[in-house]
């Protein structure tokens, strides 16, 4: 059930109505939202509901066990540490089976064949359950936070089930922590008050990004060029790379906008997940703006436990690189994601080295020119990494990059409209936040009926501008 579909519109109309009526009755509201989330997730395959229920049950039980093994003052014990480790291993084991089993088996088999050992690899062709990477990370964070003594009491089974299964963030984030979500269950606002203006603007913006921008770029140039790079020349390949950078941003941030808007209409606020990432002047700044909830997760539950920047410079560089490699693998079981993570990790390390070496030195250039050079370099490094993220194999990525130096090839797909969409999409991220905020304040003065009419009209316009047929969101595959 995709957001930009009639199926979801009907589903959410029913959910919103039920939520609005039941919000004064907190327990009934929880059960209703849990049931709605089960319908939403089961729409793809009811069989995987059992996996979701298993994750809920295991992690709630382990979280309770961790809490009971802490000291009365909330301090860690050897028992609590071991239970947390068991929880992490169990969660990663389930994720690893569904997401990485075939990848690792085939990789080992290929290596053995390369040295002359014939093996019959047991490839299972396991279907990846939608959203497993997201709800697994959320479950791990909950158990670890309890182990760190950050909870006065664990969640009830019902509250934890609502948290982990909540349909607005279930399949592609944001990665919401229990400490951000659970308190809102007991602080549901007056049912007569709905943050409609903010929610409607987020939903419209997300739909426009996905249906119009992302879909146009995919159909116009990205999909054709990546499918057959040898047919295209340098100009088409370069614009296809830039187009994919915009496509994946519009697709994923569009999904996030819709998810945040939908949750707001139900009285739940999610954390921000994007903050104009393509205005970044460093890769570190980029990661503070791109998929912010994943960045925070990797920092708090991987980078800092590895030692962060507390050790030597060499250890800090190792930690940075390792975290980005793992972050790449989290996205998918393919060497392309490892290379993507390696590019980001290497550049983050290089940034630190250069920053330390050049600290206190001036280039003697105008500050604006220096910023422009920094932006150009960071943006193109990010775009280079996106090639591996999009490609189906490392060889395919290098083939496409090689076409940047070809002497001939088609420039089909490159048009003034395409260039305008890409340039305008980048430029829009430099617009100060106060302008959309002012628009939201003005929109909030409209009567609810007018807001609904405006949203409906906007969605009709989006449907008219978008291509026929909508592809699933890119991050659904993760």
Give the residue numbers marked as catalytic: 331
Q: How far apart are CA 184 and CA 153, in angstroms?
A: 16
CB 153 within 8 A of CB 74: no
CB 422 within 8 A of CB 239: yes
Q: How far apart are CA 297 and CA 256, in angstroms?
A: 17
Residues 6+ apart with CB under 8 A from 123: 102, 105, 106
* C-alpha pair distances (Å), 255 with each of 2, 4, 29, 161: 10, 10, 25, 23
Residues 6+ apart with CB under 8 A from 360: none
CA angle 476, 89, 92 (to 5 degrees): 15
Q: How far apart are CA 270 and CA 261, in angstroms?
A: 9
Residues 6+ apart with CB under 8 A from 42: 48, 49
What would the two tokens of residue 87 be? Answer: 């929880």
- Determine which helix (DSSP H) or strand (DSSP E) holds 269, and give its type and residue range: none
Q: Helix %, strand %, coil % for the chain, to 5? A: 75, 0, 25
């Amino acid at each position: 059930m995709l957001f930009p579909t009639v199926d979801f519109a009907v589903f959410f109309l029913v959910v919103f109505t039920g939520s609005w009526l039941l919000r004064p009755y907190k327990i009934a509201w929880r059960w209703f939202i849990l049931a709605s989330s089960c319908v939403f997730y089961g729409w793809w395959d009811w069989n995987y509901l059992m996996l979701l229920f298993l994750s809920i049950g295991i992690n709630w039980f382990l979280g309770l066990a961790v809490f009971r093994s802490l000291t009365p003052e909330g301090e860690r014990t050897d028992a609590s540490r071991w239970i947390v480790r068991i929880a992490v291993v169990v969660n990663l084991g389930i994720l690893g089976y569904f997401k990485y089993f075939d990848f690792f088996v085939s990789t080992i088999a290929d290596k053995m064949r390369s040295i002359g050992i014939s093996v019959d690899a047991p490839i299972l062709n396991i279907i990846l359950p939608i959203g497993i990477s997201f709800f697994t990370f959320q479950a791990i964070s909950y158990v670890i936070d309890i182990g760190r003594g950050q909870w006065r009491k664990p969640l009830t089974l019902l509250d934890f089930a609502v948290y982990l299964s909540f349909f607005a963030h279930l399949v592609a984030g944001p990665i919401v922590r229990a400490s951000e979500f659970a308190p809102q269950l007991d602080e549901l606002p007056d049912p007569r008050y709905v943050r409609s203006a903010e929610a409607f603007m987020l939903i419209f913006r997300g739909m426009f990004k996905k249906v119009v921008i992302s879909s146009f770029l995919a159909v116009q140039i990205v999909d054709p060029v990546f499918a057959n790079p040898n047919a295209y020349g340098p100009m088409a390949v370069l614009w296809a790379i830039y187009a994919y950078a915009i496509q994946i941003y519009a697709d994923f941030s569009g999904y996030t906008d819709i998810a945040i808007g939908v949750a707001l209409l139900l009285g739940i606020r999610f954390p921000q997940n994007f903050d104009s990432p393509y205005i970044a002047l460093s890769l570190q700044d980029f990661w503070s703006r791109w998929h912010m909830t994943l960045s925070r997760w990797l920092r708090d539950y991987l980078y800092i436990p590895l030692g962060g920047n507390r050790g030597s410079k060499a250890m800090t560089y190792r930690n940075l690189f390792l975290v980005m490699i793992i972050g790449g693998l989290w996205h998918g079981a393919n060497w392309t994601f490892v290379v993507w993570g390696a590019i980001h990790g290497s550049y983050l390390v290089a940034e630190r080295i250069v920053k330390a070496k050049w600290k206190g030195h001036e280039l003697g250039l105008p500050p604006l020119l220096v910023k422009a050079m920094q932006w150009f370099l960071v943006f193109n490094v990010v775009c280079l990494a996106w090639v591996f993220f999009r490609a189906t194999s490392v060889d395919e990525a290098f083939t496409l990059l090689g076409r940047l130096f070809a002497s001939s090839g088609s420039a089909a797909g490159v048009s003034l409209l395409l260039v305008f969409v890409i340039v305008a999409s980048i430029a829009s991220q430099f617009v100060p936040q106060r302008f959309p905020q002012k628009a939201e304040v003005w929109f909030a003065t409209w009567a609810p009926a007018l807001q609904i009419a405006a949203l409906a009209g906007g969605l009709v316009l989006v449907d008219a501008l978008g291509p026929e047929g909508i592809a699933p969101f890119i991050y659904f595959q993760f």
